[in-house]
Chains A and B, each alone.
Chain A
Amino acid sequence: EAGVTQSPTHLIKTRGQQATLRCSPISGHTSVYWYQQALGLGLQFLLWYDEGEERNRGNFPPRFSGRQFPNYSSELNVNALELEDSALYLCASSLRPMTEAFFGQGTRLTVV
């Protein structure tokens, strides 16, 4: 069974640009979570989607947004990139909301 897959693996963008990160959950999982892991800051909760709806968002500015598609895959969009957005972005999925979550390998975003 395929795990959570994220693309791209690495992404380099210039300050002010937009970045789009994608996540495919484990088959049958309806909940998708996004986290930011910046150096030295642990995991910061970004967004939670379930059944196509945004259920909760963390303490991030509105330029961080996303959506979940009918097939439960998800994308995270970051507009007006800033240098401090450079981080590993992790996606996770779970079979039911807030049960054990399985993570992808992450997308390393570098803003220059």
Chain B
Amino acid sequence: GNSVTQMEGPVTLSEEAFLTINCTYTATGYPSLFWYVQYPGEGLQLLLKATKADDKGSNKGFEATYRKETTSFHLEKGSVQVSDSAVYFCALTDLGNQFYFGTGTSLTVIP
């Protein structure tokens, strides 16, 4: 079956540090991959997406590359800010019957 596995949190970084949040997936077929971000007390916001192998999604300084050979979609940012503190969710859909979400990774950035 389909599933998404994210690195366990919480993650605490200093401002301007490099961020990597690991995400690996299991899927039949050719899934589309997404990263969502949830700020405290809010719903999820779509951060970036990739729909086929080797695609790179990017937004607001965040990037993730769809790696079919390693079934991964790791989220990266070169220099995090305090405002990036949130929970990040990796997700996939294989155009089947539902989206599959990871358990979320909490990020705290300290000044």
A44, closest chain B residue (CB): B101
B32 adjacent to A99 (CB under 8 Å): yes
B34 adjacent to A90 (CB under 8 Å): no
Per the bound structure, the CA–CA distance linking A73 and B103 in Å amounts to 28
Interface residues of B, count at CB 8 A: 21
Tell me if B12 is interfacial: C-beta within 8 Å of chain A. no
Known: A43-B89, A99-B32, A100-B49. A90 touches B101 (CB 8 A): no
Contact flags B74-111 to A (C-beta < 8 A → 1, else 0): 00000000000000010001111111011110000000
Pull 18 A–B residue pairs with CB atoms less than 8 Å apart, ordered by A.
Answer: A33-B98, A35-B101, A42-B102, A42-B103, A43-B44, A43-B101, A56-B98, A92-B44, A97-B95, A98-B94, A98-B95, A98-B97, A100-B32, A100-B34, A101-B99, A103-B43, A105-B42, A105-B43
Residues of B at the A interface (CB closer than 8 Å) are: 32, 34, 36, 42-46, 49, 89, 93-99, 101-104
